[in-house]
Amino acid sequence: MTEYKEIATPSRTKEILKKHGFSFKKSLGQNFLTEPNILRKIVETAGINSQTNVIEVGPGIGALTEQLAKNAAQVLAFEIDDRLIPVLEDTMSPYDNVTVVHQDVLKADLVTTVAETFREEYPLKVVANLPYYITTPIMMHFLESNLDVQEMVVMMQKEVADRISAKPSTKAYGSLSIAVQYFMEASVAFIVPKTVFIPQPNVDSAIIKLTKREKPAVEVTSEKEFFKLTKAAFQLRRKTLWNNLIHYYGKDEETKAWLTKSLEVAGIEPSRRGETLSLEEFARLSNQLEANKV
């Protein structure tokens, strides 16, 4: 194989963009990383080896894809921008273990595409530099799919990474923290400065590592109702749990009686704020709401 200069160097990135006459689309949140060491660190954090299959979202011109291809068994990359498909055909030509799918990952039938793409049933990981404007929907799409994703190592805005990994009684803790931590153990691996991207974004990024739990963090009667409750509890950040619950579920006497009884049996003070409740407390309350339904 011919030795190529790594895609993620500033000079090679500019050369590729110029060759293909590519211009950035702000609406797609395109920021390309131009520091190969950071990409190698991402691959290392994800523990990618020759017996790992990887899904990437938004490969861009292939900077991270290249590093994944060098280490993984196979790489499946979803790219929404049709202008990048010929670019990736060019930059990924040295690697026969990369499949690029021109599709919006949120509309993809992940289970079918994965079954059709990967030859070996190796552990599956998601590694990606996620577009900022759509980070949460993409992550939830994977978490709620029936794919057996062992681990996700993804780059996102530092602020979002802080929210995902937040603990109760902190400013960043909210329904997103709970939704992700219900399925995965979350921790921020390292920070990526905004200076290593072109074009340069306004904020720093973070690499977050999410490891799938053997079973969800808490036992709930209904996942759907549990997530409804956690969203309700954070609707109005400065309000008490009680105010949020009646705002969401209703203010009639029957609903108030149902909420009062459920809170009481769950041992949760209505005057508390949503951000002080742990996953266990939310699970207890959710299960009581289900049990006391009229």
Question: For the chain, which domains are there?
Answer: 10-212 (3.40.50.150), 223-291 (1.10.8.100)
Whole-number pLDDT of residue 43: 97
Contacts of 204 by beta carbon, 8 Å cutoff, 6+ apart = 158, 191, 192, 193, 194
> Higher model confidence: residue 166 or residue 1?
166
Of residues 3 and 6, the one with the higher pLDDT is 6
Q: Determine the pLDDT at residue 3.
A: 53
Mean pLDDT in residue range 56-67 = 96
Contact call for residues 54 and 165 (beta carbons, < 8 A):
no
- What pLDDT score was predicted for residue 1? 43
Q: Tell me the pLDDT tens digit for each residue of 191-217.
A: 999 999 988 988 999 999 999 999 999
Is 104 annotated among the ligand-binding residues?
yes
Per-residue confidence (pLDDT) for residue 179, from 0 to 100: 93
Choice among 71-80, 137-146, 239-248, 251-260 with the minimum mean pLDDT:
137-146
Residue 33 in marked binding region:
yes
Min mean pLDDT across 132-136, 173-177, 247-251 is at 132-136
For residue 2, what pLDDT is reported? 47
Rounded mean pLDDT, 62-76: 97
Percentage of the residues of the chain whose pLDDT score is greater than 70: 97
- Kindly state the percentage of the chain with pLDDT values over 90: 87
In one-letter notation, the amino acid at residue 248 is: Y
Closest CA to 36 of 11, 58, 54, 53: 11
Q: Is 21 annotated as a binding residue?
A: no
- Judge whether residue 119 has pLDDT over 50: yes
pLDDT bin (cut points 50, 70, 90) of residue 23 is confident
243 labeled binding residue: no
- What pLDDT band is residue 136 in, cutting at 50, 70 and 90? confident
**Mean pLDDT across the chain:** 94
Q: How far is CA 147 from CA 45, 54, 142, 151, 286, in A?
A: 21, 12, 7, 11, 26
267 is in an annotated binding site: no
Which pLDDT does position 5 carry in this prediction? 83
Q: Is 162 annotated as a binding residue?
A: no
Count the neighbouring beta carbons within 10 Å of the beta carbon of residue 70.
15
The 10 Å Cβ neighbour count of residue 293 is 9
Cβ count near 215 (within 10 Å): 8
Give 76-99 pLDDT, tens digit per residue.
999 999 999 999 999 999 999 999
pLDDT at 4: 64
Please say if the pLDDT value at position 146 is more than 90: no
